[in-house]
Amino acid sequence: MLNLWVVLFSSFRVLNMKSEPYMSARHLPFGDSALLIEFGDVISLEVNGRVIALNEAVLKAGIQGVEELVPTYRSLLVRYNPLKTTYEQLVFHIKDIEKTLKESITEVKSRRITIPVVYGGEYGPDLTYVAQFHGLSEEQVVRLHSEKDYRVYMIGFIAGFPYLGEVSDKIATPRLETPRLKVLAGSVGIAEKQTGIYPCDAPGGWRIIGRTPLKLFNSLQQPPALLKAGDNVKFSPISEKEFKTVKDAVLKDIYSPFSEA
Amino acid sequence: MKAFHVLKPGLFTTVQDLGRYGYLKYGVPISGTMDTFSLVAANVLVANNSNDACLEITLSGPELQALTRTQIAVTGGAISLKINGQNVPMWQTLEVQEGDVVSFGKVESGCRAYLSIRGGINIPLMLESRATYVRGGFGGMNGRQLKTEDIIKGFDIPSLKAGYSMPENLVPQFTDQFKVHVILGPQADMFTKKGINTFLSSPYKVTLEADRMGYRLEGTIIEHKAKADIISDALLPGAIQVPKNGEPIIIMRDAQTTGGYPKIAVAITPDVSFLGQAKPNDMIEFSKIPINQAREKLFEYYKLFNNLSRILLKR
């Protein structure tokens, strides 16, 4: 009987960890030159909000020995120079900074970026499938995808690839069973509740519903990625004709998708 | 200044330096040399800066014709090396005259050799580094491996008056066995005690899926407590992920910057450099080390780097 309770209790804890942010942040060693601060094992605006807020605060604090920060869905990686600081010192500094942050952070101060997208047709070969999968019209899918603001949770997978969330349950769609060998640069896809944009031609299994003429990554520019974690993104449906106009403007470097939040 | 004409590119030869730091948050991996010690040694042997760009040679080497008089050095895994058909040694400064042909055989121990050119390889910096990131298509030689007819440019810099060689006791010996120190975590708590013991006590074999992105290993299955997925977070070279099948994957220099498998441990920096010489069928054994001891090892490692130019023997 006792054993059963242990089993039930531990499975409850696992479930609980999956759906909730941790009560307090976990500070974990990541090799000899990095520290990982985890806020939960879940995709949520709140958990990611704490990551983004800590990222900003640590940058601002300019802690000795900190070399690079990598914000992700649910944790912040701090790469440091072990010749200039120690793991213990860094944990101490960062815990101090955490005390100054609010407990619940769903809103982050961010840039707002509008991403123009041609939906459907050759630009979005899976739009029809996504619509049929949910018993919606293509127009309804486009409206549901473009009416919402999305947080850039993190950049990863491929240089400049933004993980955006989250799409309405009404259009959340599983990945392709067999990934495509080539998804074109600018393709906008859905994978479950995530949406994202391919910065370059790459293999991929996301359901492609449209394409943007914007360039998400350019190794010749500083910074090289259009987006960063914490940004606020909105998609705006455009026509094929507008796609060409915007693409020209992007090539001439006279197009700006940024507006004040 | 044109330094070399590529007659044969070798199996997979790329331009690499110490790496591209500061862009992980944009999804750009660190790239750069797989074997840091050997690249630094190659540079120091021709009195370059540690971070100067070299050629990283994989398993089978290139054939290069000198287009100017220069000095080179070759380090890393043991490889047969010839100038105009005559065998010449690794780990020392070599004089090359215009028209000379530098040719390589196959790597006989380890996996990668490094060729430095006096003054470094002259290629534009991309995001502050000359490292080639092939999957991203940028850095180094237009983001790709060398090909026949490429011209490798150098910098105009006075040649050395004297050469150097590496003391024999400092030349790393690579076998097909690798002993790697790791710091457990960040997600070691997702594995059972048995799983962690398995990881630390069983040898793992490098599979054919081994390249600059990482090595897939095979061996005794490592047991997870419950789930084998996490919400994706950051990766660094040396991180050891264990997906659902229970066999570890070591992340190397060109890997994607985020991943969704729990990381049982992370190899310490000097051993990640050493691991850069592992190839398919090599065996790896992991042992854990506390963070303080890892720090001491790192201090020794950096001290060796800083002292290299003084340790080298004048020839």
Query: What is the residue-level pLDDT of chain A in tens, covering all 261 positions?
Result: 344 433 333 333 333 344 567 878 999 999 999 999 999 999 999 999 999 999 999 999 999 999 999 999 999 999 999 999 999 999 999 999 999 987 667 677 789 999 999 999 999 999 999 999 999 999 999 999 999 999 999 999 899 999 999 999 999 999 998 999 999 999 999 999 999 999 999 999 999 999 999 999 999 999 999 999 999 999 999 999 999 999 999 999 999 999 865
- The predicted-structure confidence for B164-179, as pLDDT tens digits, reads as follows 999 999 999 999 999 9
Q: Alpha-carbon distance A16 to A13, whole Å?
A: 5
Class of domain B177-303: mainly beta
Are residue A79 and residue A150 in the same domain, yes or no? no
Domain count for chain A:
2
**Residue at a domain's end among A45, A70, A99:** A99
Task: Fill in the amino acid letter for A247.
Answer: K
How far is the alpha carbon of B112 from chain A, nearest alpha carbon, in Å? 24
Are residue A74 and residue A116 in the same domain, yes or no? no
Task: Fill in the amino acid letter for A157.
Answer: F
What are the residues whose beta carbons fall under 8 Å from the beta carbon of B193, sequence distance 6 or more? none
Is the pLDDT higher at A259 or at B78? B78
Q: In the beta sheet, which residues pair with residue B101?
A: B65
Name the residue among A77, A36, A34, A69 with its Cα closest to residue B298.
Answer: A34
pLDDT score recorded for residue A104: 63
In chain B, ranges of CATH 2.40.100.10 domains: 177-303
- The predicted-structure confidence for B98-145, as pLDDT tens digits, reads as follows 999 999 999 999 999 999 999 999 999 999 999 999 999 999 999 999
CA-nearest residue to B142 within chain A is A219
Are residue A32 and residue A123 in the same domain, yes or no? no
Residue A18 located in a structural domain: yes
Find the CB nearest B236 among A34, A87, A225.
Answer: A34
| Number of Cβ pairs < 8 A linking chain A and chain B | 141
CA-nearest residue to B293 within chain A is A32
pLDDT score recorded for residue A106: 66
Residue A44 located in a structural domain: yes
- Cis peptide upstream of residue A166 (ω within 30 degrees of 0): yes
Q: What is the CATH number of the domain that holds A216?
A: 2.40.100.10
Name the residue among B143, B91, B165 with its Cα closest to residue A200.
Answer: B143
Are residue A153 and residue A244 in the same domain, yes or no? yes
pLDDT score recorded for residue A1: 38
Residue A106 located in a structural domain: no
Name the residue among A115, A124, A120, A246 with its Cα closest to residue A183.
Answer: A124
User: Inter-chain contact A11–B226, Cβ cutoff 8 Å?
Assistant: yes
Residue A105 located in a structural domain: no
Are residue A83 and residue A165 in the same domain, yes or no? no
What's the domain range around A64? 2-99
Token pair listed for A10: 């531990």
pLDDT score recorded for residue A23: 77
Give contacts of A200 with chain B, Cβ < 8 Å: 136-137
Residue A29 located in a structural domain: yes
- The predicted-structure confidence for B253-300, as pLDDT tens digits, reads as follows 999 999 999 999 999 999 999 999 999 999 999 999 999 999 999 999
Are residue A142 and residue A236 in the same domain, yes or no? yes
Whole-prediction pTM value?
Answer: 0.93
Are residue A135 and residue A255 in the same domain, yes or no? yes
Q: Give the mean pLDDT of B52-64.
A: 98
Residue A104 located in a structural domain: no
Q: What is the CATH number of the domain that holds A51?
A: 3.30.1360.40
Mean pLDDT of chain B: 97
pLDDT score recorded for residue A10: 36
pLDDT score recorded for residue A109: 76
Find the CB nearest B231 among A74, A224, A229.
Answer: A74
Residue A204 located in a structural domain: yes
Q: Where are the alpha helices (DSSP H) in chain A?
A: 2-19, 45-61, 87-99, 127-134, 138-146, 240-251
How far is the alpha carbon of A171 from chain B, nearest alpha carbon, in Å? 21
Q: Alpha-carbon distance B74 to B56, whole Å?
A: 10
Are residue A163 and residue A238 in the same domain, yes or no? yes
Residue A186 located in a structural domain: yes
Are residue A78 and residue A126 in the same domain, yes or no? no
Task: Provide the ipTM.
Answer: 0.95
**Sign (positive/negative) of CA torsion B35, A31, B301, B131?**
positive
How far is the alpha carbon of B239 from chain A, nearest alpha carbon, in Å? 8
Are residue A148 and residue A231 in the same domain, yes or no? yes
Task: Fill in the amino acid letter for A260.
Answer: E
